[in-house]
Amino acid sequence: MKKKILSIFFVILCIVGCNKEDNLPPEPLMPKLSMNSVSVEEGKSVEVTISSGKLPYSATVSPSGIVITTVEGSELTITGVKAGSATVVVKGVDGGSVSLPVVVTAPPDPLATFKDNPTPRWEFVRGETVSSTDPLYTFIIDKGTLFSSSQNKWGYASNDGNTFRLIEWGTSPILRTESGTVTVSSFRIVKEEQRTIWITFFANDTEYRVVVEKIQI
């Protein structure tokens, strides 16, 4: 009789235990990503495909401000905002998640080559370059004597006198040429080192890049 009671007891325990196992929620599915890490430039985007997890997916970023993310179906889009490192966590609706390290890099400096060369010169971005080493031109440094203007001036004139360019900068940057005075826009000193200044500006929809020598007072 005792053996019969024990057998019944063990059967009940087995049934209860089996029912408990049957009632356990399924393990969350771990999403898989098409990339193990991402490197992206500021302002550019990278597409990452998500698989194996449970739709719909969501994504969070830490720290904020480095990238922005959007998720559409199984596609994760990561867009660089500013240089730095962040972690994107992709999560399925069942709670399964995976982390993706992201590095955002600054875009290449479009003026890098220009700033690497200290030779005084004028670069017509869609044309020629006139250098202070060219014997056909005389380079001019002036403050307060030419054209009755006290602004800094730096430029060149052809030896025959038919062509000249003179950038004036101070309170009102202008460009003087053999054809007259031209209004300057977007005047910017992009680099200054010892006795050399790198300048960019626009005049008549033409971009100029000029390397000038500092005027010695």
Instruction: Name the 3-class secondary structure at 41.
Output: strand
Domain assignment present for residue 208? The answer is: yes
Domain assignment present for residue 3? The answer is: no
The answer to whether the CB of 91 falls within 8 A of the CB of 58 is: yes
Amino acid making up residue 42: E
Share of the chain above pLDDT 90, in %: 72
Which pLDDT score is estimated for 13? 47
Which pLDDT score is estimated for 144? 80
Which pLDDT score is estimated for 3? 52
Domain that holds residue 69: 32-105
pTM of the model: 0.66
Residues 60, 87: Cα–Cα separation, whole Å = 8
Asked whether residue 54 carries a pLDDT value surpassing 90, the answer given is yes
pLDDT in tens, 102-117: 999 999 999 999 999 9
Residues 197, 121: Cα–Cα separation, whole Å = 11
Instruction: Return the top range by mean pLDDT from 68-72, 107-111, 164-168, 181-185.
Output: 68-72
64 burial type by CB count under 10 A (0-12 exposed, 13-18 middle, 19+ buried): exposed
CATH number at residue 82: 2.60.40.1080
Statement to judge: residues 190 and 153 lie in one domain = yes
- In this prediction, residues 85-100 reach a mean pLDDT of 97
